[in-house]
Amino acid sequence: MSEKVLMKGNEAIGEAAIRAGCLYYFGYPITPQSELPEFMARELPKRGGIFLQAESELASINMVYGAAACGVRAMTSSSSPGFSLKQEGISYLAAGELPCLLVNVQRGGPGLGTIQPGQADYFQATKGGGHGDYRLLVLAPDSVQEMYDLTLLGFELADKYRIPALLLSDGALGQMMEAVRLDHEVKPVPDKPWAVTGRRDRETLNVVQTLSLDKDTLEEHNRVLQDKYALLRKNEVRYEALNTEDADLILVAYGISARIAKSAMAKARAAGLKVGVFRPITLYPFPEEALYETAQTTKAYLVTELSCGQMVEDVERVTHSQQVHFYGRTGGNLPCADELFDQILRIMQGKEVGGRAR
Amino acid sequence: MEHEILFAGFGGQGVLLAGRMLVYAGMMAGKEVSWIPAYGPEQRGGTASCSVIISDEPVGCPIVTKPSALVVLNEPSLDRFEAAVRPGGVLIINSSLVRRKCMRTDVEAFYVPMNDIAAECGNVRYLNMIALGSLACAIAAVPDEFLQKAFVKQFGGKPGMVEANRQAAMIGAQCIKNARRMAGVR
């Protein structure tokens, strides 16, 4: 077993990306993710790669398009307002079936908002932030270790399905330092016979494009994409369920909120209350079946997010439960475990959940 | 046991480094640890602070709002965070720069003239190491051997620096021991 190292979440993403063979980073600085481009600017030239600070977010996402079309592992990162600027390019990447890793270290919005942590880009991430029918594989780490692990997984699955993968993180996870193990085996980058690498001895040209003026061709292309997303829903669902079997109340949360939910759960269990935590790790594909299963035994849910209520809509949709409560904080605020514990008590006593933003 | 620590001072005093070294020591000691800087709209000469958690249990929220130990290197930090310390907690005050006393009666307060000690050590920049040594001694969150590893890790590349910084930390620790002896606390 290798030694643990202390790293910021943003740096862990960079280290994982380079170890995954991603030698091309394109981006534009924005707090609270700038340690990631700083890390790449320092490390990539030493390790045989290229770091390029583009003139804008728009330029950087299209540089990723170009690099990914050439068959190399490439990535970009930003934070909420900057990530919004990339949406057009992301739609193109999805349409072009180009594997890459996108990172959004979320901050509070809307607008320029704040540089403090937020989780209000869930809709944008999971429902399609750009135009057209497309989805991203959306991975939501809740620790610095998972920032590392899920970056590796993101590249792997992006190549496997030829889709863009999105690591949806937040300012707290990006800025915090924790112990990380870097001893995971990295699978080799698969061959990409479709990549634009020059004609060479191939019979046909490889072309990556997203314009499709023939109606039936585009409809068929949409079918191919939808089949892909169906495969994701079938094969790539990931989640963590803690103490959900006997739980009267299940907290549902992802990312930084899930850590606080776990602390609140520990407090509730110590007080003799049957509380569990369900944490989606893939936000798309959303762990629908596993969450639906819990609805057969539990009495209520408390969804907590750093938003006014986004993932809660998926929890309502999936569980069909009439007892889906919500507690959100925004503006860069994080709830403390005691705050969530108070909400747990209120629900257990049949009271209205306070601070309800819905 | 969970130690939730807030290190606060003004930019340049080295609170972020002191916090990071304690976290490194905690990690080496096999504890669950986290470190996060306050990265709000801080300005040069304004307050700088970091949250450090050293625990036997996995860390939930990394941001410390109710510290079990608070280290303040300047007076604005005391004004801002004094009320947040948990009853029974530890408060370490840099009495070289903080002119007032702690108003709380339900915390264990220590007054360490960090700038003066650092100047005697030969460089005012040692002040964060004196703070680190004081804190580590006051809360005993990490066995000393692991704190020693943090000095080697941080300063190993610079000849003489390990020993100089270690010395500064030891003087900080000694201040706490003396204060406790005087108070007859332990």
Distance from CA of A262 to the nearest CA of B (A): 7
**Which of the 8 DSSP states describes residue A117?**
B
Which CATH number belongs to the domain containing residue B53 in this structure? 3.40.920.10
B33 in contact with A, Cβ within 8 Å: yes
**Which residue is listed with tokens 């046991």?**
B1
- In B, which residues are within 8 Å of A334 by CB distance? 61, 63
Find the CB nearest A178 among B33, B57, B60: B33
Distance from CA of A31 to the nearest CA of B (A): 9
Beta carbons of A256 and B61 less than 8 Å apart:
yes
The alpha carbon of residue B105 and the mean position of all alpha carbons in its chain are separated, in whole angstroms, by 20
Domain boundaries, chain A: 4-235, 239-348
Minimum CA–CA partner of A144 in chain B = B34
Domain that holds residue B118: 2-183
Beta carbons of B23 and A177 less than 8 Å apart:
yes
**Which of the 8 DSSP states describes residue B97?**
T
CATH number for the segment(s) A239-348:
3.40.50.920
Window 191-230 of A, Cβ < 8 Å to B: none
Beta carbons of B57 and A260 less than 8 Å apart:
no
Beta carbons of B63 and A178 less than 8 Å apart:
no
Count up the domains in chain B and report the number: 1
Q: How many CB atoms are located within 10 Å of the residue A192 CB?
A: 18
B50 in contact with A, Cβ within 8 Å: no
**Which of the 8 DSSP states describes residue B11?**
T
**Chains A, B: CB pairs < 8 Å:** 58
Full pLDDT tens readout for chain A, 358 residues: 568 999 999 999 999 999 999 999 999 999 999 999 999 999 999 999 999 999 999 999 999 999 999 999 999 999 999 999 999 999 999 999 999 999 999 999 999 999 999 999 999 999 989 999 999 999 999 999 999 999 999 999 999 999 999 999 999 999 999 999 998 888 899 999 999 999 988 888 999 999 999 999 999 999 999 999 999 999 999 999 999 999 999 999 999 999 999 999 999 999 999 999 999 999 999 999 999 999 999 999 999 999 999 999 999 999 999 999 999 999 999 999 999 999 999 999 987 776 554 4
- Biggest distance spanned by C-alpha atoms of chain A: 72
My answer on whether omega of the bond before A335 falls inside 30° of 0, hence cis, is no
Three-state DSSP state, B90: strand
B65 in contact with A, Cβ within 8 Å: yes
Beta carbons of A176 and B62 less than 8 Å apart:
yes
CATH number for the segment(s) A4-235:
3.40.50.970
State the pairing for strand pair A24-27/A50-53: parallel
